[in-house]
Structure 1
Amino acid sequence: MSNERRLSLSQSARVLLVDDEPDILELLELALLRMGLEVDRADSVGAALACLNEARYDLCLTDMRLPDGEGLQIVRHIAAQNLELPIAVITAHGNMESAITALKAGAFDYLSKPVALEQLRALVKSAIQTPKSAPGLSAQGDDAQGLLGHAPAMQKVRDLISRVARSQAPVHICGESGSGKELAARLIVAQSARREHPFIAVNCGAIPENLMESEFFGYRKGAFTGADSDRDGFFQSAHGGTLFLDEVADLPLAMQVKLLRAIQEKKVRKVGATQEEAVDVRIISATHNDLARRVQEGKFRQDLYYRLNVINLTMPPLRELRDDIPEIAQRLLLRLRGASNVSFAPDALRALSTYDFPGNVRELENIIERALALCDDATIQLADLQLPPDAGSTQAAPVVADGSVALPDYLDQVERTEILKALDRTRFNRTAAARLLGVTFRTLRYRMERLGIKGADKDED
């Protein structure tokens, strides 16, 4: 083992190995000693708990099956005692159910038998570099660094983010369009041991089905027409870091099978290759769809659902954070206005606080950006927001015969909501959004201009 490898880990790091098979213990101990670590051994649950009571460790690595119980008992003991000790479990080959159970109970990560030394070294390095107590996210921080708001729902999200950041378990983030799912994923990574490594965000709904395998796993030269050189996929690009699968519900069933194997085996095979290659990737997924319902409908594999949904994080919609909307709006305005001194009129802020925001924070940002362009002086007035007529109501106003709500305004509101949903699903790729809506690109562009919807230009006319 090179000096560079030894110096990459703390010289005082101490690992507890728990297994009742002497040959496996010896193999793992030798690998860890070569990494410059101190190692203690235990061959049962009772012996392991005694070691944990007597000494302080930087990592615990335990087999799931032990003579006097299960490794899960050790996982739960560490969690109950708040030891802030990363613990990884070793499971029988193909027994993902026990690994998922351990992850839900608080395990840091898992290894499958036979243990690959490359994966062992990656796990140990990640565990020992993970901060024991990840710093919490300040509710007063900038919206680019944290999630704003004092509502209990947002405080719960921040607390869960700080806790799951210390794990390697897959996280599934659910919530409505524009509620900040990718921001939450980035904040998890920012507090984890993978913060210095790649964060690869993939919009699963924007990739053509016939290209999915090569995009995810890469391909070898000559694998198909046009493959004139080797190319890495998303998994290889995210090696050592995090792969964020946005709108994962849009994956076709055939690709779900291949993704399931990659997650379970921690290996991928490039298109046209004969050998698999190991990848060290943490998976964070997100969708605005109800994945459990899609499983019931037969549109999403149940086994993949359980592997992605080890830890669930739900982002609250903006309408549940009404008391925080003025603060969030002020922060967004501060960022968007640049060097100008534009501010909100009181009635404009009140209107924002009572609006339902079907597009959530992304819609709020679009509204403020448009208002900045429309306001005549240094104050954003209510009219500059161009909110629908029912903005002061918590429910959509009905169209009634006496004309109390104009039908064109109501239809504009419905159209605007659906366009924003489509743009959110495609990460503001207007060509893909037009396909979802069943209109041409030119029609969508015209309607966006008419309704004042602005977004990044990610495609050409």
Structure 2
Amino acid sequence: MSQQTVLVIDDERDIRELLTITLGRMDLQVDAVGTVAEARRALAGKTYDLCFTDMRLPDGNGHEIVEHIAANHPEMPVAMITAYGNVDAAVNALKAGAFDFVSKPVDIQMLRQLVRTALRLAEEKRSGKTAAKAGNAGDRLIGDSPAMQQVRATIAKLARNQAPVYIAGESGVGKELVARLIHEQGPRAAGPFVPVNCGAIPSELMESEFFGHRKGSFTGAVGDKEGLFQAAHGGTLFLDEVAELPLHMQVKLLRAIQEKAVRPIGAREEIPVDVRILSATHKNLAALVEQGQFRQDLFYRINVIELRVPPLRERRGDVPLLASFILQGLARKDGGRPSELLPEARQALEAYDFPGNVRELENILERATAMCDGEHIDAGDLMLPQRMPRADAATAASVQQPAPVAAPSPASATGDGGLDDYISNLERGAIVKALEESRYNKTAAAKKLGITFRALRYKLKKLGID
């Protein structure tokens, strides 16, 4: 097998020598140049397996090189060398098509890991393995609609680089599945995929959960603990509901992503981590930035590329395929034959808006399978909520705003339980009602109640609501 080759473009002699020596020890052949013009000549006369380019060059900049390689050598991964802490340059490089970036001063351990990942990706592109993996993994993303075909095509493209991806979409559309497919179709597929719901971690435990801690660093730290970043080393960290991160944690997360290193609580030194970041939320992250609830610098760092997953109501033609897939899965779990949708049931599903998207469809079909007689599901078995018929404004107002009912006074309502019990009962009733109206989607219920997801989880536990 011929020796793999790398092109290094940097006007600093020390950087060129460092990279040449380091890569040479990895049994790679290295050509090093110092200008854009020399780089263009090298690329015109030779095929390389990987390229490193500095941001600032005497006769141009690294973006020219990235764009040139993307247009003329799309199979070649290119990594940008940026100044320490220059997150804007790194983000712009990734948007231009760079595979990844390296910060000065160059960390040799991180450099070697990046090279191994990049060369593995290049080999997969040449052998066609990436396309094969895309076909197999994509089988789980059900739907033939143009919207889903576009999503699958975008996933295949995103899997080929290391740029952070922000997955936007409503609750229940399958954002975690999309993240898993990006991971599985890329060069990190052999590494871990670590999903974390940012809204489910108590604020006071977040730093320990993300970065780990050392024994004795705080009360209860009875041993060393590995954080989520370390657990995802060499793979992908998926930050679901990233909008739920408190501001103090957003600062720490930005630094970890930018410096590619974490410092466990109680540790003196940072630990290098090689992790690709994928994130998602059902909220409008740009609006939260404008409101000051989400840091703009972190938003731009995780939102290098945005992938929107369409809601089910925008791809109604996929409902029958999805329903068939779900029913077959339910049958395998129960060990029987899959139930069949009668025409009226199929039409009812295609006409329904699915505010809870694919997750709601799964719940509806699981319930219908249990309720139907025999192996056929009719429209009545689905028990879909009845939509309110259109009416004039006065009628709608009278329906939506029932006559006020006098609230019981605390004295009469509390009985022997006292005011605390009375307030708890009111809270319990409001929470149960919100859960029922949102089909037990806790995120949607929290939004109805005007509280955070974390606050709702606390109240559920406090009030003993299962």
Using the size of structure 2 for normalisation, the TM-score is 0.84
Structure 2 vs 1, CA of residues 377 and 399 (structure 1 numbering), >3 Å: closer, same or farther?
farther
Match of 2:377 in 1: 380
Alignment of 1:335-346 (within 5 A): 335-338=329-332, 339-346=336-343
SS at 2:131 equivalent: coil
Alignment of 1:230-269 (within 5 A): 230-269=224-263
Establish whether residue 191 from structure 1 lines up as the match of residue 185 from structure 2.
yes
Alignment of 1:151-166 (within 5 A): 151-166=145-160
Match of 2:202 in 1: 208
Matched letter for residue 442 of structure 2: A
Establish whether residue 111 from structure 1 lines up as the match of residue 112 from structure 2.
no
Match of 1:74 in 2: 65
Q: 1:434–1:440: 8 Å Cα contact kept in structure 2? A: no
Structure 2 vs 1, CA of residues 425 and 413 (structure 1 numbering), >3 Å: closer, same or farther?
closer
SS at 1:162 equivalent: helix
- Would you tell me which structure has more helix in proportion to its own residues? 2
Structure 2 vs 1, CA of residues 224 and 169 (structure 1 numbering), >3 Å: closer, same or farther?
same
RMSD of equivalent CA atoms: 2.9
Match of 1:449 in 2: none
Deviation at 1:335, TM superposition (A): 1.2
SS at 1:226 equivalent: coil
Q: How many Å separate the matches in 2 of 1:273 and 1:324?
A: 51
Structure 2 vs 1, CA of residues 136 and 311 (structure 1 numbering), >3 Å: closer, same or farther?
farther
% identity of equivalent residues = 52
Q: 1:177–1:425: 8 Å Cα contact kept in structure 2? A: no
Runs of at least 5 residues in structure 1 that lack an aligned partner in the other structure? 1-9, 427-431, 446-460
Q: Deviations over 1:243-265 (max 9, x none)?
A: 10000000000000000100011
Deviation at 1:67, TM superposition (A): 1.2
Q: 1:89 aligns with which of 77, 80, 87?
A: 80
Runs of at least 5 residues in structure 2 that lack an aligned partner in the other structure? 403-431, 447-451
Q: 1:17–1:62: 8 Å Cα contact kept in structure 2? A: yes
Q: How many Å separate the matches in 2 of 1:137 and 1:204?
A: 29
Structure 2 vs 1, CA of residues 178 and 399 (structure 1 numbering), >3 Å: closer, same or farther?
farther
Matched letter for residue 154 of structure 1: M
The structure with the larger Rg is 2
Matched letter for residue 377 of structure 2: I
Using the size of structure 1 for normalisation, the TM-score is 0.85
Alignment of 1:23-34 (within 5 A): 23-34=14-25
Q: Deviations over 1:328-381 (max 9, x none)?
A: 111111111223142111111111111100110011111111111111111011
Structure 2 vs 1, CA of residues 258 and 437 (structure 1 numbering), >3 Å: closer, same or farther?
closer
Q: 1:142–1:148: 8 Å Cα contact kept in structure 2? A: no
Q: How many Å separate the matches in 2 of 1:399 and 1:207?
A: 45
Q: How many Å separate the matches in 2 of 1:82 and 1:313?
A: 25
Q: How many Å separate the matches in 2 of 1:164 and 1:13?
A: 24
SS at 1:172 equivalent: strand
Structure 2 vs 1, CA of residues 321 and 94 (structure 1 numbering), >3 Å: closer, same or farther?
same
Q: Deviations over 1:275-333 (max 9, x none)?
A: 11111111000000010000000000000000000011100000000111111111111
Matched letter for residue 195 of structure 2: A
SS at 1:40 equivalent: strand
Structure 2 vs 1, CA of residues 271 and 443 (structure 1 numbering), >3 Å: closer, same or farther?
closer
Establish whether residue 436 from structure 1 lines up as the match of residue 433 from structure 2.
no
SS at 2:52 equivalent: strand
Q: 1:124 aligns with which of 99, 115, 119?
A: 115
Q: How many Å separate the matches in 1 of 2:170 and 2:368?
A: 24
Q: Which runs of 4+ in 1 moved over 3 A?
A: 136-139, 395-405, 412-417, 423-426, 432-435, 437-445
SS at 1:337 equivalent: helix
Structure 2 vs 1, CA of residues 435 and 298 (structure 1 numbering), >3 Å: closer, same or farther?
closer
Q: How many Å separate the matches in 2 of 1:43 and 1:56?
A: 18
Of stretches 79-88 and 89-98 in structure 1, the one that deviates more from structure 2 is 79-88
Q: How many Å separate the matches in 1 of 2:366 and 2:461?
A: 23
Matched letter for residue 244 of structure 2: D
Q: Deviations over 1:158-217 (max 9, x none)?
A: 111101111111111010000110000000000111101111111000100000001110
Structure 2 vs 1, CA of residues 164 and 296 (structure 1 numbering), >3 Å: closer, same or farther?
same
Q: How many Å separate the matches in 1 of 2:212 and 2:265?
A: 6
Q: 1:135 aligns with which of 119, 131, 154?
A: 131
Q: 2:325 aligns with which of 331, 345, 348?
A: 331
Q: How many Å separate the matches in 2 of 1:433 and 1:367?
A: 24
Q: How many Å separate the matches in 2 of 1:363 and 1:142?
A: 23
Q: 1:180–1:361: 8 Å Cα contact kept in structure 2? A: yes
Structure 2 vs 1, CA of residues 22 and 438 (structure 1 numbering), >3 Å: closer, same or farther?
closer
Count of equivalent residues: 423
Match of 2:411 in 1: none
Q: 1:390–1:397: 8 Å Cα contact kept in structure 2? A: no
SS at 2:438 equivalent: helix
Q: 1:91–1:99: 8 Å Cα contact kept in structure 2? A: yes
Match of 2:211 in 1: 217
Q: 1:47 aligns with which of 29, 38, 49?
A: 38
Q: Deviations over 1:220-274 (max 9, x none)?
A: 0000111111111101111111110000000000000000100011111111111
Structure 2 vs 1, CA of residues 425 and 23 (structure 1 numbering), >3 Å: closer, same or farther?
farther
Match of 1:458 in 2: none
SS at 1:135 equivalent: helix
